[in-house]
């Protein structure tokens, strides 16, 4: 883990460090004293800049690249920059309009908004984006629905009080007809509507199976189907945009590392470990702060968005340690405000309908 270290830097050293980070994150090339002399707002000699760079290198804030005489930020340098020098960059009009237009689309479900947000953030940054819909622990069951879809296939639909809709296709158990299915559905709705999803799941594991057997003399696994959809609905659902973008910045090119990176996005437990411990409104983790060796060359910026009584959601950008922090932070800050407003509009329409 990167440790916070107090550095006593002069104003000029701060300017030099800030310019090295800015130049390297924008252009990807090591920075020499001549470039700094031309770019800095203060006029000093190349020799003076070299002396200041030597001090920054001695403190571990910048480092030398083997293939160049220039310097690049170290992980400690990035950390110091983020903590003390970073200011979000304002979006240009084109980017702001792209967000406004993208979120202005008509959406049928909350998941559609959150999924689209991941795609938009990935397109805007060219990094990997992750989004999580608002968590509402007290969401209750509005009801189950069943829709025949042909043959012996049925779509089971769960609707919760926060507007979430979860669906799951299943085959009608052998020996069970449509009339029996309707009776099961009535039992479920009569007993479970209005209860929290945690309570619904508990009832489906305890008294509901006995009740169904009492009426039908057998449940034929039908209760398991309801358990599965409630479990699915209760899980955190991450949406990911630009999964393959992460490979553009990985320094590990062996097959096992690539496989590990891609597997990361398909396992909720790993995503929970990556994103679930964040308690800050806006947070930046760099390199080994991510506690995953596969991500030692990456940084993660997360931001929460507030949807009032509906809870808080999360948006995040996973990119290289050399990502454009100022631009990315400015984008996330603006995007989450727009996303909050759009979600509030969606829920207001849902409540009014």
Dihedral sign computed on CA atoms, order 119, 102, 236, 283? positive
**Beta bridge partner(s), residue 71:** 31, 64
CB 346 within 8 A of CB 113: yes
Judge whether 11-85 and 141-234 match in fold. Answer: no
Rounded CA-CA distance 220/175 in Å is: 9
pLDDT for residue 144 is more than 60: yes
Residue 286 near residue 264, CB atoms below 8 Å: no
8 A C-beta contact, residue 232 and residue 122: no
Q: Which two tokens stand for residue 51?
A: 């002396």
CATH number for region 141-234? 3.30.390.60
Alpha-carbon gap, residue 328 to 282, rounded angstroms: 12
Q: The sheet that has 128-135: what strands, in order across it?
A: 238-241, 128-135, 312-320, 298-306, 282-286
pLDDT band at 172 (very low <50, low <70, confident <90, very high): confident
Q: 11-85 architecture in CATH?
A: Orthogonal Bundle (1.10)
The pLDDT of residue 203: 94
Per-domain residue ranges of the chain: 11-85, 93-136+237-352, 141-234
Instruction: Provide the 8-state DSSP code for 289.
Output: G
- Identify the residue with better confidence: 162 or 112: 112
pLDDT at residue 151, rounded to an integer: 82
| pTM summary value | 0.80
Instruction: Tell me 108's DSSP state.
Output: S
pLDDT (0 to 100) of residue 5: 57
Degrees (nearest 5) of the Cα angle 244, 248, 249? 120
Q: Please state which CATH number belongs to domain 93-136+237-352.
A: 3.30.450.40
């Amino acid at each position: 883990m990167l440790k916070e270290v107090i550095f006593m830097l002069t104003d000029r050293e701060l300017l030099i460090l800030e310019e090295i980070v800015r130049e390297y994150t924008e252009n990807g090339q090591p920075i020499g004293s001549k470039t700094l002399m031309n770019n800095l707002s203060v006029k000093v000699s190349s020799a003076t800049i070299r002396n200041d760079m030597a001090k920054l290198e001695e403190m571990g804030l910048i480092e030398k690249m083997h293939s160049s005489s220039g310097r690049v930020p170290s992980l400690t340098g990035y950390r110091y920059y983020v903590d003390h020098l970073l200011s979000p960059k304002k979006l240009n009009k084109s980017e702001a309009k792209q967000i406004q237009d993208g979120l202005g689309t008509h959406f049928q479900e909350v998941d559609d908004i959150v999924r689209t947000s991941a795609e938009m953030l990935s397109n805007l940054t060219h990094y990997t984006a992750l989004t999580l819909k608002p968590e509402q622990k007290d969401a209750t069951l509005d009801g189950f629905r069943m829709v025949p879809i042909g043959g012996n296939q049925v779509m089971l639909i769960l609707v919760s009080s926060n507007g979430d809709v979860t669906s799951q296709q299943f085959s009608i158990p052998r020996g069970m007809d449509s009339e029996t299915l309707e009776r099961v559905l009535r039992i479920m709705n009569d007993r479970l509507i209005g209860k929290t999803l945690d309570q619904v799941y508990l009832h489906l594991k305890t008294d509901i199976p006995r009740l169904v057997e009492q009426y039908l003399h057998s449940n034929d696994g039908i209760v398991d189907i309801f358990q599965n959809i409630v479990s699915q609905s209760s899980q955190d659902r991450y949406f990911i945009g630009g999964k393959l973008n992460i490979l553009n910045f990985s320094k590990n090119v062996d097959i096992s590392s690539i496989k590990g990176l891609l597997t990361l996005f398909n396992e909720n437990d790993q995503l929970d470990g990556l994103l679930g411990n964040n308690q800050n409104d806006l947070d930046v983790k760099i390199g080994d702060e991510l506690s995953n060796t596969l991500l030692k060359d990456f940084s993660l910026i997360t931001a929460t968005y507030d949807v009032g009584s509906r809870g808080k959601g999360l948006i995040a950008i996973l990119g290289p340690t050399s990502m454009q922090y100022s631009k990315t932070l400015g984008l996330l800050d603006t995007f989450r405000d727009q996303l909050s407003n759009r979600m509030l509009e969606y829920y207001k329409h849902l409540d009014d309908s």
